[in-house]
Each structure stands twice: as C-alpha cells, then as structure tokens.
Chains A and B, each alone.
Chain A
C-alpha cells in the first residue's frame, strides 16, 4: 500500500537554516510525496484557502514541518491553521474532510533535548509544548503521531545534520510504504525512537 504524504513546510529564513536544508534535501523524490513550501507560496500571508483544502483532500498523511519558535510554529503556519481548517469543513457537525488522516509534526529546536523536561530550562517536555497542535489535530478528526524532533541544531556539525537528514528520509519512506502499528507507536514519545526500532 502506498500513502500520499503532504509536507507543509514553514520557515521564514530557510536559506540560513542548515538543519532544515539537510532535512529538505533528504526528502525522497516520489510521486506520493508533495513538498509545499508555505513561505515560498504565500510571501504576503494571503493563503489560498481553497487550494490548500484541495491539496489536503488529495493526501493521506499531513506533515507540519517547521522550526520551534517560542514554543510554537512560525506565524505563517499558524495563519494556515487558522484559515484552512475551516469550521464546517475540518471540524464541527458537518466537518469531516480530514477524518482518518494522520498528522505528523517534524520540528527542529536549537536547544538540546535535556532542556525540555520539568527540571530543564524549558520546564516542559516537547510533547507538553506541542499539546495545542495535538489537540487541533484531534478536533479535526485526525490521528496525531508522536513528533519527529531534531534537537540541538545550534551546536550540531555537518555530520549531525546529515544524520538527521538520513533519518528523516527513512521516516518518509516508511510512512509512504508501510502501515503503522499504533500500539507499538504509543510506547514511544518521539517518532525518531519508533523508526529506530523499525530500521534497526
């Protein structure tokens, strides 16, 4: 079985991001994978809602791919969420357009993983901080997967970027071709850990 994947990528300064460059470069060439660069498409924040909804309908798995800014996403992705996930279409009594689709969040953080816990400088775990996105997915009748996270991009070298690029490629290939085991998946907090058990 082949899944169709829509990567909604949001980065206001993509050309200066080494980590996201490595990740985006690693996206496999496939007819099933659509890379949609929001800041390239809508530089003036004037999102074409109809077009975005049509794209969503055509895919099975949606990925929100963005850097973590102030514990949230860049503003254009928020604008996208505000405008595209319309009442009566994505949620509400008659809104079931996204029912059954999977939602994966692929994020990069400058800080290290150990900072994201109750005793760390950020006080909360990534999962806690991403709760609003998880809840949004649930309201829209989508299944929210554990996120794919690249930590510590500020202190990473070229090999590190490449390592995560390769891992992202594995994730996408897995999502495209394989069926997920949700029981198994629930045991892991990051999609990174789940994919490691699959590729050994």
Chain B
C-alpha cells in the first residue's frame, strides 16, 4: 500500500493547499477551507477518499490534544487558578442547562426512549474545542472576555467527558455489544481506589514536569540538536496523553496540565515553536476528516429532519449560552460572539455517540443522522460567526478593544526583543531595564538562560533562526528588534529573516567588525554597531590623555573619529562592490586598511574648534596696528 499512502497524502495536502488559500482570499476562516477540502475529496463529491474520514478524525484528534498543550503553555498557572470559579461555574451552568433543555425538547417532540434522548442530549451539549479555539486564535480573540469564557466552558466540557462516558453504561439495559470500549487500567478497581489514583496521576504530571522533564530538556538542549528537542517535545505530549488514557482521563486534559506546568519554564517558547506546526497539520487533517465524514446519503434520505433538527438544537445551545453569558454580565457584543462561537456540537459528540451505539443505547441509523447533524453544525459555525460579524454585531456599539481585565496579560508582549543575551546583549538589556523598558530576550544557551532567570530577567531559550519562535516571542507586535547574537553568521541570518518576515520592526544590529557591517549595509540595515570600535576609540582617547593631551580635547577627538569612521564604513560598503573579483579577502583587507589610513591623514580631524582659539583674532588685531 505504499503507492496508496503517497497517493492519499498527496490528495490531502493538495486539497488543503488549494482550498485554504481560496477560503483565506474570500475572507473566510481557514477552518472552512479545510472542511470544504474534506467535503470535496470525500466520498460524496469526488470520491477520492472513502469512508475513512472517521478514522482520520480519530487519528487527527491528537491535534486537539496538542492544541490544549499549547494553550496550557500560554497560560500562567496562577492566572489559571484565578479562573477556576469561572470554569466550574460557567461550564457547569452551560452543560446542565443545555443538556436539560435538549432532553426536555427532544422528549416532548421526538418521543425516543429516554436513554436514547439522554445520550443524544449529552453528545450535542459538548462544543468543539478544535473549531472554537482555532477560530478565536485566527481572529485574535483569545484574550478578550469572550475568549476567556469560551475557553473556560470548553475546558469544563473536556473534563466532563470522563464522567459522561462513565455514566452511559449505567443507562444500558444489559444488551451491551462491547463494553470494553472505555476500558482503562483501573476501571476494574473499586471506586474508592480509582479516585486517589486519578488525582495521584495529575500530581505525577505536575511533579514529573517540574523535576524530571525540565532537567531532561536541559540535557537535550545541550546537545544543540534541533530535531532531538522536537522529538522530546513530541514524546512529552504523547507520553502524558497516554498516561492519562491509562487511568481513564482525557488526553487533552493531561496535555493541558503538562502545558501549564511548563508554562513558567524557560523552554516555553521553544516548545511552542516545536509543537505548533504539528498541531496545525493535525488540526487541518482533523477538519478535513470532519468534512469527508459528512454522510450526504443520510442527509438526503431525510433532509427536512436533519435541517430542522440542526437548526433547533443550534438555536437551543445559542440561547442557553446567551443566558449564561448574561448571568456573567457580558457586554452585548461579547455575549453574542460567545453564544455563536460555542453553538455547535463537537468532536466529543462523535465519541459519545459511538460509545452509545456500542451500548445499544440508540440505533445505528439515528446515530449516523446525529453524526451528520454534528458535522453540519461544525461546518456552520464559521458561517454563523461571519453573519454575526457582518450583520448583527455592528448593531451593538461598544467594542472591547483591549480589556483592562486582570487576565489580559496571559502572554507578555514587549515592544523590544533582544536576540542573544551574551556580554553584548545583556548590557543592552540591563540599560533598558534600568530605564523601565522591559524586553523579551531570546538566547541559545540554556545554562545562561537559567541563571539569568534566577536573577529576574525574562529570558527564553530558543534558536532565533526559527520563524515560529520569533512569532511566539511576539515579533508581530513588537517595535524594535535588537540582534546581538555572538555568532556573526547567525546574527546576520536572523536579521535577514526579520527583514523578510517582519518588515515593520526597527532593527539594531551588532556587527563584529567592518566586514559584518558591510554585510548589514548590503541587506539594508543602517543601524549597525561594531562591537570593538567604541571600546577601541575609548582606549585610544585614554592613551592620548596619558600622552599629555587634555581630557576634553582627547574626548572630542574621539567623538570626531567615531563619526568619521562610521561615514567611511558606509561609503566603503557601497564602493567595495566595484572592486575586481579576483582580489582575495585578505588582500582586500590590507587594501582597505591602507585606504583608511590614507583618508585619516587628509581628514584634518582636529581642525574644527578654532572658535576657541584666538590666533585668528590676534592676527586681525596685529594687522590693524
């Protein structure tokens, strides 16, 4: 099946590469692009892939786990702890109200067995973490009030899946197909033993993160092998997920806790940069899977039921969310957005329905219909948000631009980014800090990062050549980028990357010597600072003083020399491209020095202070006598 694998991979990638840019071009969210890509290559349109959409989704659900890991990373544990009441309060309220209303309405209108109704109500109550969080991220809403509320509700749902899956077997009346579906290592143990084990595991994740993972990452970081670090990051997420599954907890929850534990470590940005591409790809695959799994035969068999049911259940969820938001005193536009965003059913619905079928709680046909309903509601969300944005939201005046809420600074964004915190960069950092300007610092040396962090600097470990890391460090929002990396070659590459990807950033670059400065001028950076020039001139000034010059005169000579040398470097940078190519670099160097010394002689560095000299005036007076 090797050909098969390549063929399939190409189909998925091609569909994504074509559909997502089109969606973006039309101003839609990338999620819609993926979903439509799935529908198009799915069994009912082009038929390029078969019924495996569901399997793909189960595999790609791992993307959701990674997303929660990343969310955990971005969250300060203390801030998370402060959110606990909102998570439990809002989450519980949403879950109970939605499930209750759905149960009552379905019982009255559709007259299924009550067990069936319970299973379906619960399945539809849970929203889609993947769709909501991805959409919020794309729209930059994660740090608004509705973003935090959405996150709180989704996290509670994530936790709630576990008891829901535990309750369902109690509803089954004995005709169980395969009760092992939710089997975990400890499910045979009595209840009093299970609880401590579960909490023990969470404790283990915390302690393991602190005292095992971080030291391990230090060792890995020292090898300076980028791919090894990526492998460790993946191992970490997968390991935690697996451990959680073993004790019957949601892997996403485990990943979230792991993320939270590592949020304050110096590896945060690096881990973010490493996991983000995998998360992106898997989520894309997940959305394609959702699109491909929509069973159009079932929809077409009874379109009226599907459409009416979808509309009503979406409506119920929407209004319940509005009420919950109102109880938590959201402003009108935030509340609307919150209600629209969470009004769909999600990936957990598939899991619960699949489990319920195994328990004989509902017939296969009904389950398939419900799965179609879930898929349709997921596809519908981006459209609903678009409608809200275009036609509904404009009627509700007050916009929450940047709320002054205490959760706001989940991620610190500084105006200044310093790459490289060696002798050079740290001096800059200290000067800025002493003047109350905080800077985000990126450095490659994990030992140094550690010790500087102990002294209270915000230093992050990472390779500044990685675009993902630059983004994670906040290059998109910063104003100034200071390139102060020890290795001149790397420093130059970083500057080139910044120029290319973040042209709005003002760059100040360290240059080791004149040649580095030339290279910087070539790529259009005029604010270069030769690390040896200023201290050499300073030494020269002191030597002049030692030789008997007045300190003020010598200092002015030094000032003038600096100005002149900076100008000379700029003009030589342009001229050096005219030289004949056969000159070797050493020869060029010697020639350059000769030219500089020759120019020094002609520049009459000292002849400018003659206003303080009286020779001129004395001469005029003598001539008058």
Name A residues whose Cβ lies closer than 8 Å to a Cβ of B.
44, 46, 49, 82-88, 92-93
Check B611 against A82 for contact (C-beta < 8 Å). yes
The secondary-structure label for the interface of chain A is: loop
B361 CB to nearest A CB, Å = 72
Stretch of B122-130, B395-403, B523-531, B612-620 that contacts chain A:
B612-620
List 24 interface pairs A-B (beta carbons < 8 Å), by A numbering: A44-B559, A46-B559, A46-B560, A49-B608, A49-B611, A82-B611, A82-B612, A83-B609, A83-B611, A83-B612, A84-B611, A85-B611, A86-B610, A86-B611, A87-B611, A87-B616, A87-B617, A87-B620, A88-B616, A88-B620, A92-B616, A92-B617, A92-B620, A93-B620
Residues in B with CB closer than 8 Å to A46 are 556, 559-560, 563
B622 CB to nearest A CB, Å = 12
B366 CB to nearest A CB, Å = 72
Alpha-carbon gap, A172 to B612, bound state (A): 33
The 5 A-B pairs at the shortest CB distance, nearest first, are namely A46-B559, A83-B611, A87-B616, A86-B611, A87-B617
Residues in A with CB closer than 8 Å to B563 are 46
Alpha-carbon gap, A82 to B611, bound state (A): 7
Alpha-carbon gap, A64 to B560, bound state (A): 26
Q: In the complex, which residue of chain A has the Cβ closest to the Cβ of B559?
A: A46
Segment 580-625 of B: residues with Cβ below 8 Å from A: 608-612, 616-617, 620
Q: In the complex, which residue of chain B has the Cβ closest to the Cβ of A93?
A: B620
Alpha-carbon gap, A83 to B563, bound state (A): 18
B555 CB to nearest A CB, Å = 9
The secondary-structure label for the interface of chain B is: helix
Name B residues whose Cβ lies closer than 8 Å to a Cβ of A.
556, 559-560, 563, 608-612, 616-617, 620
Residues in A with CB closer than 8 Å to B608 are 49
Alpha-carbon gap, A83 to B609, bound state (A): 7
B620 CB to nearest A CB, Å = 6
Alpha-carbon gap, A70 to B610, bound state (A): 27
Among B560, B611, B616, residue most surrounded by chain A Cβ atoms (within 10 Å): B611
Residues in A with CB closer than 8 Å to B617 are 87, 92
Alpha-carbon gap, A196 to B563, bound state (A): 47
Residues in A with CB closer than 8 Å to B609 are 83
Alpha-carbon gap, A65 to B359, bound state (A): 88
Alpha-carbon gap, A86 to B560, bound state (A): 19
Q: In the complex, which residue of chain B has the Cβ closest to the Cβ of A47?
A: B608
Q: In the complex, which residue of chain A has the Cβ closest to the Cβ of B613?
A: A87
Alpha-carbon gap, A49 to B617, bound state (A): 18
Residues in A with CB closer than 8 Å to B612 are 82-83
Given A46-B556, A83-B609, A87-B617, 8 more pairs with CB closer than 8 A: A82-B611, A82-B612, A83-B611, A83-B612, A87-B616, A87-B620, A88-B620, A92-B617
A88 CB to nearest B CB, Å = 6
Residues in A with CB closer than 8 Å to B616 are 87-88, 92
Alpha-carbon gap, A83 to B560, bound state (A): 15
Alpha-carbon gap, A84 to B608, bound state (A): 10
Q: In the complex, which residue of chain B has the Cβ closest to the Cβ of A86?
A: B611
Q: In the complex, which residue of chain B has the Cβ closest to the Cβ of A92?
A: B620
Alpha-carbon gap, A66 to B72, bound state (A): 56
Alpha-carbon gap, A92 to B621, bound state (A): 10
Q: In the complex, which residue of chain B has the Cβ closest to the Cβ of A50?
A: B608
Residues in B with CB closer than 8 Å to A87 are 611, 616-617, 620
Alpha-carbon gap, A85 to B611, bound state (A): 8
Alpha-carbon gap, A93 to B616, bound state (A): 11
Among A44, A46, A83, A85, residue most surrounded by chain B Cβ atoms (within 10 Å): A46
Among A82, A85, A87, residue most surrounded by chain B Cβ atoms (within 10 Å): A87
Q: In the complex, which residue of chain A has the Cβ closest to the Cβ of B608?
A: A49
Alpha-carbon gap, A170 to B609, bound state (A): 38
A15 CB to nearest B CB, Å = 13
Residues in A with CB closer than 8 Å to B611 are 49, 82-87
Q: In the complex, which residue of chain B has the Cβ closest to the Cβ of A82?
A: B611
Alpha-carbon gap, A92 to B623, bound state (A): 12
Residues in B with CB closer than 8 Å to A82 are 611-612
Residues in B with CB closer than 8 Å to A88 are 616, 620
Q: In the complex, which residue of chain A has the Cβ closest to the Cβ of B612?
A: A82
Q: In the complex, which residue of chain A has the Cβ closest to the Cβ of B563?
A: A46
B533 CB to nearest A CB, Å = 15
A75 CB to nearest B CB, Å = 13
Alpha-carbon gap, A44 to B561, bound state (A): 14
Alpha-carbon gap, A196 to B350, bound state (A): 83
